[in-house]
A = this chain, B = another copy of it.
Amino acid sequence: MKMDANPLSNIRFVLDHTSHPGNIGSAARALKTMGLTRLYLVAPRRFPHAEADALACDARDVLLNTQVRTTLDEALAGCVFAAGLTARRRDLAHPCMDVREAARHLIALSAKQEVALVFGNEAYGLSNEELARCQLMVSIPTDAAYTSLNVASAVQIMAYELRMAVLAGSGVAPDTPELARLEDIEFFYRRLEETLIRIDFLDPNNPKRLMPRVRRMFARAQLEKEELSILMGMLKQINLHAKPKVD
């Protein structure tokens, strides 16, 4: 468990499939002005790039330390919590907070543990699959007539609210439980799905919305590390006792 006096240093901003390098540079600058430094990119179309450098201005150090990953799961490795920024309404709504409330929540969590904020592509945002990796949806209250915030602007507002939450001293949350790591939760989901198929609860040829609903339920729960151990133990036992599949 990481012990860091500054909760902002445990927060990573993940830009997922960003198209325009200028937005990456602007995001780096936005982060640094608010005292944040940790930028992750998932499969950026062009990076490094001169335009990113130009728009980062004196935040080029943030770009130099930027971590590039192939998948969102890799970018979230080590985190206990991920929140996805989204403007669109979803079918199966995740728990949702506005950006101010979310900032307070994240600062409380990040006092001792790593958390992530995920920003989708400029044109199509986050896919439902990507959003399923997140435990929380964060909405910025845009005007109904024009909801299309620039991605670097969304980063700026989120970073600003995180800084305001720290300045307000809301980061003091000594009793925050140790949460399960996201990659361990993903491993659990995979084992659970296999198990549900094995016990004929889930038809892989007609899965319907079962796993998304399961994810939503656990996302609301915000699994603690010990709880996940218990769930994994349960799965193991279920599998030990399941009849081998005959087909």
Contact = CB atoms under 8 A, between A and B. Distances in A.
Interface of A: 26, 29-30, 32-35, 57-59, 100, 140-143, 145-150, 152-153, 156-157, 160, 163-164, 167
Contact of A34 (B30, B143, B167): B143
Contacts of A147: 33
Given A160-B140, A164-B100, A35 B153 contact: no
Given A141-B163, A163-B141, A33 B156 contact: no
A143 B58 contact: no
27 contacts: A26-B150, A29-B150, A29-B153, A30-B150, A30-B153, A32-B145, A33-B142, A33-B143, A33-B146, A33-B153, A35-B143, A35-B145, A57-B150, A58-B146, A58-B148, A59-B146, A140-B160, A141-B164, A143-B163, A152-B153, A153-B153, A153-B156, A156-B156, A156-B157, A157-B157, A157-B160, A160-B160
A32 B164 CA distance: 24
Nearest to A8: B143
Contacts of A32: 143, 145-146
Contacts of A29: 148, 150, 153
Contacts of A153: 26, 29-30, 33, 152-153, 156
A interface: dominant SS:
helix
A33 B143 CA distance: 5
B100 A148 contact: no
A136 to B, nearest CB: 19
Given A34-B142, A35-B145, 5 more contacts: A29-B150, A57-B148, A58-B148, A140-B160, A153-B153
* A26, A29, A157, A167, most chain B CB atoms within 10 A: A157
Nearest to A168: B100
Contacts of A57: 148, 150
A148 B156 CA distance: 13
A17 B220 CA distance: 49
